[in-house]
Every structure is written in C-alpha cells, then in structure tokens.
Amino acid sequence: MNDRFLRVPGAAFSENADEKIKRLPTPDGNFESWIKMRVQLFHHAAESVPCMDARRNAQMDRRMEYILYEQKGNIATITINREKALNALNSQVLEELDAVLDTVNLDEVRCLILTGAGQKSFVAGADIGEMSTLTKAEGEAFGKKGNDVFRRLETFPIPVIAAVNGFALGGGCEISMSCDIRLCSDNAVFGQPEVGLGITPGFGGTQRLARLVGAGMAKQMIYTARNIKAAEAYRIGLVNEVYSAETDGDGNVVKTAQEVLLAAAEKMAAGIAKNAPIAVRNCKKAINEGLDVDMDEAVVIEEKLFGDCFETEDQKYGMAFFLDKNKEKVKEPFKNC
C-alpha cells in the first residue's frame, strides 16, 4: 500500500442500512433532503463498525472485495461492485481500483470498460461515512488518494469507456470524467453536490468538468449542487450517448437500458480494439498531453507520436493492405507491435 494513502474509519454497512440505502429514491425532488438522508445513513453505518484498518489489512491478503475484472479477448471490464452502498468510493474501493489496473495485460487488452454493479447506481459518490470525521490534513490526503487513482485511469495507456448506469454523483461524476468516453443509460443522474455537504469536489471535479462542458456550466452545476439527468448531460456534452430500454411491438421490455448500454459500450470497445493499438495509444497520449499546453507545443507532441508509429509492424501492414489492389483480401488483426 502507498504510504501516502490514508487509512481512516470507513463505512461498512449494517443489513438495515443496506436496505434503506437501496430504497433511496432518485433525487429528482428535494435534493437537500436526499443528501441529508444519505449522510445520516452513511454516518450511522460508519459508527456501527470498528476502524477499517484491521479489516482492510486482512482483505488485502484475499481476493478483491469490491472490484470485479473480466477480460473477453481484447476488451476488459472493471465493475465497481459495492451495490449495497450504491457503489460509493471508500479507501478500500480506491485501493482495489488502483490494484486492478496493475493486472491489465496491455499486450492483450486494447480497451477498458468501467461500470458499476446494479441498476440504481454507477457510483453514488465518495463514502460520506468515511469522510465525515476527517481532519484538514486527512481530507487533503483522501483527496490526493482519489486524485492519484483517477489520474492514473485518465492517463492509462489504452482508452477507457465509462458505462454509466444510475447515479453518478460527486466522486461518481468525477471518475466518469476521468474516462475517455462516457456512455449512459437514460436513468443516469450526474452532479457535483459537494457544496451541499460543506466541501468542494475533491477528486478532480472542479478541473475536469470545466474542461468538458465549459467554465460557465461547470460553475453553475458545482455552485448550485444541482444534479442533471441523462438528456441534459448529453446536451451539454458531458456524455457521448444515451441509451434506453428496447421494447417489442406491445411495449414489453426486451432489453433493459443497462443491458443496451453495456452492449453499446462493448461494441464501441470492439471497434476501438480492432484498430492499430500503438496508434490508438499514441492518439490518446497526443490528445491528453496536447490539451495541457499551447498549440505550438501541442503539434510537436503530435509530430513525435505520429513519427513513433512508423516502422512498426502494424503501420507497415496497415499501409500495405490499403495499397494492395487485391480487394478480396481479408484484413488480419493488428499485432500490437
């Protein structure tokens, strides 16, 4: 474990608290009341268990408790699996997410999908029960912990697609913005409600939201703590696409919105994975690094990464196939070399 990562009391959940949290309605009405209810439930749950230190030390020696990882060919899916807590991000979830990125075989995997377990929530936010007793120094350290993991996800060599189902509030919105592409189901709710809790966004929300939707819209969302639905998230450019359930002629649901969403994410990932991996990785690096500098420096970054693609097997094959006059030839997969 990184020595700079802070261990603080965490919110394990009693069965009673689990059930109450699962029954929380979508916060379309009185958002302040919804936040207060969520704070009370998380805080009650946190007080009902001992310090997480001993539990976490034991769990780190076993399999991951809150992160699922599945690889299918060139695509891998990471699922935040803390459904009873609406997939809230506590220290253990962040540690496991950081650890699972170490397991990704970049020789094989060409695109990642990040999603949350269950239909109600992608990630409902950072764990309020864990944060509620932090000191100033501990709060800063917790923010750094989340930022280190999210920044690693953002700069991960291969593309990452967020498949957002349900709540993406606070840390949930922030982790989705750390991904390259955001797709969501029509029940998704995005927001940065932190000022309603007496804090600022702490996992990059003030920075990434402004870059994605513009400073004016970001300030409006953050200052008002207003949550927005999927359609508005699409309108302002926060998400790339919104998916709804599929129905038959009689109006019966054939596929849920979440099933449609995940299928679309997998289809997009497959489309990315079929392209030359070195070129895709270099494109991600060029875009990310270019956004942080002025245009004169940005085009130099692109030039170097453009040149880096030449003399690779994939570049030689891709151009040779394009120039081949035998149009009946079937294109073979790129070799990632």
What is the per-residue pLDDT across 146-167, written as a single tens digit (0 to 9) for each?
999 999 999 999 999 999 999 9
Read off the pLDDT band of 325 (50, 70, 90). confident
Q: By CB neighbour count within 10 A (0-12 exposed, 13-18 middle, 19+ buried), where does 281 fall? A: buried
Mean pLDDT of the chain, nearest integer? 87
What is the per-residue pLDDT across 112-138, written as a single tens digit (0 to 9) for each?
999 999 999 999 999 999 999 999 999
Dihedral sign, Cα of residue 334, residue 266, residue 280, residue 94: negative
Q: What's the rounded mean pLDDT across residues 5-32?
A: 43
Measured CA to CA, the distance from residue 101 to residue 84 in angstroms comes to 24
Whether the pLDDT of residue 43 is over 60: the answer is no
User: What confidence score (pLDDT) does residue 326 get?
Assistant: 86
Phi, psi torsion values for 189, nearest 5 degrees: -130, 120
Secondary element (H or E) of residue 44? helix 31-47
Task: Characterize 122-146 residue by residue with b for buried, 16 or more Cβ atoms within 10 angstroms of its Cβ, and e for exposed.
Answer: bbbbbbbbbbbebeeeeeebbbbbb
Q: Which two tokens stand for residue 287?
A: 């875009």
What is the per-residue pLDDT across 184-217, written as a single tens digit (0 to 9) for each?
999 999 999 999 999 999 999 999 999 999 999 9
Other Cβ atoms less than 10 A from the Cβ of 293: the count is 12
Does 275-323 carry CATH code 1.10.12.10?
Answer: yes
What is the per-residue pLDDT across 58-99, written as a single tens digit (0 to 9) for each?
433 347 999 999 999 999 999 999 999 999 999 999 999 999
Specify the 3-state DSSP secondary structure of 161: strand
Read off the pLDDT band of 327 (50, 70, 90). confident
**Tokens 């094959």 belong to which residue?**
317
Q: What's the rounded mean pLDDT across residues 41-63?
A: 43
In sequence order, what are the residues at sequence separation of 6 or more whose Cβ sits closer than 8 angstroms to the Cβ of residue 224? none
Whether the pLDDT of residue 53 is over 80: the answer is no
Domain ranges of the chain: 15-272, 275-323
Does 15-272 carry CATH code 3.90.1150.10?
Answer: no
In sequence order, what are the residues at sequence separation of 6 or more whose Cβ sits closer than 8 angstroms to the Cβ of residue 236? 213, 217, 228
Q: Which two tokens stand for residue 125?
A: 């936010």
Read off the pLDDT band of 28 (50, 70, 90). low
Of 194, 313, 328, 332, the catalytic one is 194
Q: What's the rounded mean pLDDT across residues 281-291?
A: 97
Measured CA to CA, the distance from residue 162 to residue 300 in angstroms comes to 30
pLDDT exceeding 90 applies to what percent of the chain?
77
Q: Cβ(270)–Cβ(281) under 8 Å?
A: no
Measured CA to CA, the distance from residue 250 to residue 256 in angstroms comes to 15
Strand order in the sheet with 75-80: 67-72, 75-80, 111-116, 160-164, 181-185, 241-243
Long-range Cβ contact pairs of 254-260 (< 8 A, separation 24 or more): 256/119, 257/165, 257/185, 257/186, 257/187, 258/119, 258/165, 258/185, 260/185
More confident residue, 219 or 28: 219
Indicate if 130 belongs to the active site: no
Q: Cβ(279)–Cβ(319) under 8 Å?
A: no
Other Cβ atoms less than 10 A from the Cβ of 20: the count is 17
Measured CA to CA, the distance from residue 247 to residue 258 in angstroms comes to 13
Of 96, 174, 241, 259, the catalytic one is 174
Choose the weakest-confidence range: 36-50, 246-260, 282-296, 301-315.
36-50
Indicate if 174 belongs to the active site: yes
